[in-house]
Amino acid sequence: MKENEKVVRSGFWANVFKPPTDISDLIEILSTIPLFTELSKRDLSALFNVIHNRSYLKGEFIFHQGDPSIGMYIIREGEVRIERKFEQQTFLLAKFRNGDFFGELALIDDEKRSASAIAESDCKLAVIFKPDLDDFISRYPKKGVKILHGISHVIAVRLRKVNEDNIVHQALNKKNSEN
């Protein structure tokens, strides 16, 4: 495929002018995501206005390591892998599928992406962009506190998991060095 054909087929251009997403199954998916479990169906309906549909082809990058963080992604259909390059090697960090979410740290800080996200299959994603969420929180502070509490909970769970993994890694290294 020629370079200009890649640009024409890129999901970026297909997604630029897409309107906000349909309500169909999205509220059900949102209600199962830890970030939003404290929100009522009515709260989720209000949040619905800041959610956008995006589509990606198999093998297409959703974002690259080092890109600006602009939003969180929810998988409505398909599979996504998260990988990170370090010292000229690529490491698989996670695989996500329908109903999973990734990129939630973009809703908290303005740091660059720490890893890349790639569509493992054709994907339909719902996206919440940070500026839209910030505006939502300004308009609905009580709902915003619930969302921020949900984000904090997810980060705490993931940090505990990293700590546990680190302890296991250290124990294995210690055991290997003794042998």
Alpha helices (H) along the chain: 3-9, 11-15, 26-32, 41-47, 130-139, 141-178
Q: Is pLDDT at 153 greater than 60 in this prediction?
A: yes
When pLDDT is cut at 50, 70 and 90, the band that residue 70 belongs to is very high
Lowest mean pLDDT among 101-105, 134-138, 167-171: 167-171
- Round to whole Å and give the CA distance between 17 and 5: 19
Q: Locate tokens 């989720």: which residue?
A: 44
CB count in 10 Å sphere of residue 167: 10
Mean pLDDT of 36-55: 89
Q: Is pLDDT at 41 greater than 90 in this prediction?
A: no
Spell out the domains of the chain, with CATH numbers in brackets.
3-130 (2.60.120.10)
Mean pLDDT of 20-36: 75
The pLDDT value recorded for residue 22 is 54
The residue among 173 and 132 whose pLDDT is bigger is 132
**Percentage of the chain with pLDDT > 70?**
87
> What Å distances lie between residue 3 and 13, 60, 107, CA to CA?
14, 14, 33
Q: Is pLDDT at 5 greater than 70 in this prediction?
A: no
Mean pLDDT of 24-35: 82
- Round to whole Å and give the CA distance between 8 and 139: 38
> What Å distances lie between residue 37 and 42, 92, 107, 119, 158, CA to CA?
12, 28, 17, 26, 17
The pLDDT value recorded for residue 177 is 84
Across the chain, what does the average pLDDT equal?
A: 85
